[in-house]
Amino acid sequence: MNERLQKLSAWMKENGIDVCFLTSPDNVFYLSGYFTDPHERLLGLAVFQNEEPFLVLPAMEKNDALQSGWGHEIIGFTDTENPWEMVHNSVSKRLTNAAKIAIEKEHLNVERYEELMKLFPEAKQFVSAEEKMRSLRLIKDERELKAIREAAALADYAIEVGASEIKEGKTELEVLAAIEFELKKKGVSQMSFSTMVLTGQNAASPHGNPGQTKIKKGDFVLFDLGVVVDRYCSDITRTLAYGDISDKQKEIYDTVLKAELAAIEAVKPGTPCSTVDLAARSVITAAGYGEYFPHRLGHGLGINVHEYPSVTETNPLKLEEGMVFTIEPGIYVPGVAGVRIEDDVHVTASGLEILTKYPKELQIIK
């Protein structure tokens, strides 16, 4: 078994868990090396304390799974077979009594949970595997870091393209399309989430929807996007000005930048997440904009664009070497302006590595 599976098995032994049945594509990928989106079909990875793990997936994907390097049993089911019976048979070959089963409670739907209860009437307890999976994924290894670094470099490039597309009268969607067109030419097949290009009043909403709004002089253009490389995500935000902006807009921009730099300054092993959040938040609050910064400072980044650690003002979790997360303070004043600056950072032994490198000083496109 690979090192990740061994760690999960060790946790199962400590907690007396007989079977761990994982169903989310992200966690199955993390442990098996095989990624697939099975849509409505079943995808599962069963892990045991000592016995051999197995994958269950649609038969048509069996070959892909084999080629991904998975060296253990694969159960492929056709559209006319009942995959649950096959799961039960394979578990029964390994165990006589599955009394305690770990599942992903946030992912496994009720129908599937009922299916499992029927198959394993001896199961007395269903516990959550999510917390353990989050902590396994929290520290990134060299291969994961390499993918995130590449994804971050492509995100920088995407902002560069976006900046060159800022012109009077262009719509948010036109600029967005140009960015994604250029990325696809570079071989990017997937974004971390729906790309955001927001201007004018739309930028004053932390989660706006790009549309037909046209860029005009005196407005900010906010880009929030990410690129997926080898299944790992990046996430960057830059806010650029088009034409001359007001003193108030400048003050908001300067405050966000000062806050972002203060948070970066605070990152090193041993510092609690809360301290990093508060380093930025206190700058924004002192400038009088506290109520206009309505979200946490940042989130972990990896296979999922939002994972652990959660960088909030109350999270006591201490930073450790190998964690990767975003720093993204923002100020959104309805009717005035919205500014957010977001970088991806990696905690190192001595401090941090900033993965996204596009310049942050106020850029005014003429």
Q: Find where tokens 């993390």 sit.
A: 30
CA–CA distance, 250 with 256 (Å, rounded to integer): 10
3-state secondary structure of 341: coil
**Residue 115 or 235 with smaller CB distance to Mn ion:** 235
The residue (of 61 and 172) whose beta carbon lies closer to Mn ion is: 172
Cβ-based nearer residue to Mn ion, 199 or 237: 237
Alpha-carbon distance of 51 to 49, in angstroms, equals 6
Query: How far apart are CB 97 and Mn ion at their closest, in Å?
Result: 44
Distances (CA, A) of 106 to 20, 34, 127: 14, 21, 11
Q: Which two tokens stand for residue 61?
A: 């994907």
- Rule CB under 5 A: which residues touch Mn ion? 224, 235, 237, 326
Whole-angstrom distance, CA of residue 31 vs CA of residue 252? 44
Question: Which CB atom, from 43 or from 228, has the smaller least distance to Mn ion?
Answer: 228
Distance separating alpha carbons of residues 366 and 346, to the nearest angstrom:
34
The distance of closest approach from Cβ of residue 306 to Mn ion in the complex, given in angstroms and rounded to an integer, is 7
Q: How far is the CB of 224 from Mn ion (least distance, A)?
A: 4
Q: State in angstroms the smallest separation of the CB of 301 from Mn ion.
A: 8
Rounded (10°) CA dihedral 58, 123, 72, 49: 160
With beta carbons less than 8 A apart as the criterion, state whether 332 and 206 touch. yes
* Residue closer to Mn ion, measured from CB, 55 or 323: 323
Q: Which is nearer to Mn ion, 103 or 225 (CB)?
A: 225
Distance CA 115, CA 295 (A): 38
Q: In this structure, are residues 135 and 167 in contact, taking their beta carbons and an 8 Å threshold?
A: no
Report the C-alpha gap between 202 and 213 in whole angstroms: 8
Whether the CB-CB separation of 308 and 300 falls below 8 Å is answered with yes
Minimum CB separation of residue 261 from Mn ion in Å reads 18
Q: Considering the complex, state which of residue 46 and residue 337 has its C-beta at the smaller distance from Mn ion.
A: 337
The least distance separating Mn ion from the CB of residue 342, rounded to whole angstroms, comes to: 5
Minimum gap (Å) between residue 326 Cβ and Mn ion: 4
Q: 322 φ, ψ to 5°?
A: 100, -10
